Amino acid sequence: MTMLNRQPVHTDQAPAAVGPYSQGIISNGFVFVSGQTPIDPSTGKLIDGDIAAQTEQVFKNLTAILEAAGTSLATAAPWCGRRGSSGRPASRTPVRPQ
């Protein structure tokens, strides 16, 4: 059995990870990014605004982490870990930023 090669991703352009987490991990050619909240990394506070403004901030944070890992949203494969009562994914519709 071989060990996986794991490299943490860090950028000051996205909120710091809380607890024992990383903003992202690069492993064997894949980048795994943690879930994000609408926190402005320059203030460390939740942004003001409606769901559209909050969603925009989340995608800014995701973009910053992916760029720190040397990739972008253009190459991302969206995945949601939530499952419906049937055990299947709750939604199969990918969400992409505009």
Share of the chain above pLDDT 90, in %: 54
For residue 55, is it left (φ>0), alpha (ψ between -120 and 50) or beta? alpha
38, 55 contact by CB (below 8 A): yes
For the entire predicted model, the pTM comes to: 0.75
pLDDT of 44 higher than 70 = yes
- Determine the average pLDDT of the residues in 38-45: 95
31, 8 contact by CB (below 8 A): no
Query: What domains appear along the chain, each with residue ranges and CATH number?
Result: 6-75 (3.30.1330.40)
26, 34 contact by CB (below 8 A): no
pLDDT in tens, 9-36: 999 999 998 888 899 999 988 999 988 8
